[in-house]
Amino acid sequence: MRRRLALLFAAAVAFVSGCETVPVSGRSQLILVSDKEISALAAGEFSKMKKAPGDPRLAKIREIGLKVVAAARPDDRAGVLPPAARWEFAIIDDKAPNAFAMPGGKIGFNTGMFAFTPTDDDIAVILGHEVAHVLCRHGAERVSQAMMMTASVIIADQATRNKSESTRNAWMVALPAVAQVGVMLPYSRAHESESDKLGLFFMARAGYNPEAAPAFWTRFAAKGGSKTPEFLSTHPSDSTRIANLRAWMPQAKAQMPRKP
């Protein structure tokens, strides 16, 4: 077992030294899974979801989504974004106002989200944000964080092997909680913030009005929409998010295509 632990540590160190860098923000991230592995995993999950394939709004989601993907390509130096034909967009039969992106280019848009997105600009706010999650490999990073958390629990279990039962129990209870607050939470906030910023740029480059972004979040927060899964406890506070979007607005507008 000790040998296995030594190997685990060696692997972790090797992975850490092979850290990736997030486009634009420059933050370094730990990725322990390949894009191929994570995309296969995501495809399996995506196929199980309750979709509304006959929904006439799907064509619109796809059209806006692909425009945003094209606008994101200049930032994809690592070649993470799949080619246009491989992107899959789906309307998910779920009343919760939510949307999500999965590695490999799978994007889900809940039926409940349409109440908050009356215009194409609003839809582009959501899709810009989701495409940014894919580009920044946030899904792979989250899985990697969970892998590290599991490894740390195994290591602590071994390290406290000869300690009293109560010490061992305290460790076992505390570790995941510590990892959650110390690692998962700030990272997820960083993910949301990176996606907000890049998403704003992508929608602007695709020709949509970036002013729709702070307006969307203001509306969404007022209706209590931010209490839904994707933006749960880890999302930046609504006021921080809106203030950030306003601060990035001049940069976003500078990227809008010039009207002929």
Q: Residue 86, Cα to own-chain centre: how many angstroms?
A: 19
Stretch that binds Zn ion, among 45-53, 105-113, 173-181, 188-196 (CB under 5 A): 188-196
* Phi, psi (deg, nearest 5) at residue 119: -115, 165
Stretch that binds Zn ion, among 59-67, 87-95, 161-169, 187-195 (CB under 5 A): 187-195
Contact 239, 217 (CB under 8 A): no
Closest CA to 169 of 157, 159, 180, 179: 157
Nearer to Zn ion, 120 or 196 (CB): 196
Cβ at position 167, least distance to Zn ion in Å: 39
Is the Cβ of residue 195 or residue 244 nearer to Zn ion in the bound state? Answer: 195
Six token digits for residue 250: 């001049």
Q: Tokens 């490894």 — which residue?
A: 151
51, 182 contact by CB (below 8 A): no
Closer CB to Zn ion, residue 158 or residue 239? 239
Residue 67 or 235 having the CB closest to Zn ion:
235
By C-beta, is 142 or 168 nearer to Zn ion?
A: 142
Least Cβ distance, residue 224 to Zn ion (angstroms)? 17
Contact by Cβ (8 Å): 167, 157: no
Say if residues 55 and 111 touch (Cβ distance below 8 Å): yes
Chain centroid to CA 152: how far?
A: 24
Interface positions, 109-148, toward Zn ion (CB under 5 A): none
Nearest to 112 by CA among 236, 233, 227: 227
Task: Write the binding mask 192 to 211 for Zn ion: x where contact by CB under 5 A, - elsewhere.
Answer: ---x----------------
Least distance from Zn ion to the Cβ atom of residue 19, Å: 22
Q: Which stretch binds Zn ion (CB under 5 A): 45-53, 107-115, 145-153, 189-197?
A: 189-197
Stretch of 78-86, 141-149, 190-198, 243-251 lying at the interface with Zn ion (CB under 5 A): 190-198
Number of residues that bind Zn ion (CB under 5 A): 1
Residue 112 and residue 95 in contact, taking contact as beta carbons nearer than 8 Å: yes
CB of 145 or CB of 195, closer to Zn ion? 195
Shortest CB 195 distance to Zn ion, Å: 5
φ, ψ (nearest 5 deg) of residue 87: -75, 140
- Taking residue 40's Cβ as centre, other Cβ atoms within 10 Å add up to 12
Of 51 and 142, the one with the shorter C-beta distance to Zn ion is 142
The binding site for Zn ion (CB under 5 A) comprises 195
